[in-house]
Amino acid sequence: MGKPTGFKEYKRQIPADREPLLRILDWKEFHDHMPKDSLQVQGARCMDCGVPFCHTGDMMANMASGCPINNLIPEWNDLVFRGRWKDALDRLHKTNNFPEFTGRVCPAPCEGSCCLGVIEPPVTIKNIECSIIDYGFEQGWVKPEPPTVRTGKKVAVVGSGPAGLACAAQLNKAGHLVTVYERDDRVGGLLMYGIPNMKLDKSEIVDRRVRLLQEEGITFVTRTEIGRDLPAAKLKEQFDAIVLCTGATRPRDLPIPGRDLKGIHYAMDFLRPNTRSLLDSGLGDGQYISAKDKHVVVIGGGDTGNDCLGTSLRHGCKSIVNFEIVERPPLERSPNNPWPQWPRVFRVDYGHEEAEAKFGRDPREFCIQTVEFLSDGQGNVRAVKTCEVDWQTMTEGGPPFVPIPGTEKEYLADLVFLALGFLGPEHPVAQQLGVNIREGRGGMSWYTADHEKYTTNEAKVFVAGDCRRGQSLVVWAINEGRGAAREVDRYLMGTTDLP
Has residue 145 been placed in a domain? Answer: no
Has residue 65 been placed in a domain? Answer: yes
Rounded CA separation 113/131 (Å):
21
Residues 410 and 436 in one domain: no
Residues 35 and 171 in one domain: no
Q: pTM (2 decimals)?
A: 0.96
Residues 57 and 112 in one domain: yes
Q: What is the pLDDT of residue 199?
A: 97
Residues 44 and 186 in one domain: no
Has residue 32 been placed in a domain? Answer: yes
Has residue 143 been placed in a domain? Answer: no
Residues 274 and 133 in one domain: no
Residues 389 and 432 in one domain: no
Residues 54 and 183 in one domain: no
Residues spanned by the domain of 211: 154-250+423-493
Q: What is the pLDDT of residue 62?
A: 86
Q: What is the pLDDT of residue 1?
A: 65
SS3 assignment, position 294: coil
Has residue 449 been placed in a domain? Answer: yes
The candidate with the shortest Cα–Cα distance to 103, out of 220, 214, 209, is: 209
Has residue 149 been placed in a domain? Answer: no
Are the C-beta atoms of residues 315 and 435 closer than 8 Å to each other?
Answer: no
The domain that holds 16 is classified in CATH as: 1.10.1060.10
Distances (CA, A) of 241 to 238, 398, 462: 9, 45, 8
Has residue 146 been placed in a domain? Answer: no
Which of 400, 420, 440 is at the close of a domain?
A: 420
Indicate the helix (H) or strand (E) that contains 136. Answer: helix 125-138
Q: What is the pLDDT of residue 32?
A: 86
Number of domains in the chain: 3
The domain that holds 394 is classified in CATH as: 3.50.50.60
pLDDT by 10-residue block (mean), the chain, 499 residues? 86 94 97 92 91 90 92 95 97 97 96 94 96 97 97 98 98 98 97 97 97 98 96 95 97 98 98 98 98 98 96 98 97 94 96 98 98 98 98 84 96 98 95 95 93 94 96 96 98 97
Which of 109, 138, 167 is at the close of a domain?
A: 138
Q: What count of other Cβ atoms lies within 10 Å of the Cβ of residue 150?
A: 13
Residues 346 and 224 in one domain: no
Are the C-beta atoms of residues 451 and 431 closer than 8 Å to each other?
Answer: no
Write out the DSSP string of 261-289.
Answer: SBTEEEHHHHHHHHHHHHHHHTTTT--S-
Residues 189 and 246 in one domain: yes
The candidate with the shortest Cα–Cα distance to 419, out of 298, 325, 248, is: 298
Residues 273 and 391 in one domain: yes
Has residue 1 been placed in a domain? Answer: no
Distances (CA, A) of 134 to 30, 127, 233, 473, 477: 15, 11, 41, 21, 21
Residues 226 and 107 in one domain: no
Q: What is the pLDDT of residue 451?
A: 81
Indicate the helix (H) or strand (E) that contains 93. Answer: helix 85-93
Indicate the helix (H) or strand (E) that contains 311. Answer: helix 302-315
Which of 379, 403, 420 is at the close of a domain?
A: 420
Q: What is the pLDDT of residue 47?
A: 85
Residues 268 and 416 in one domain: yes
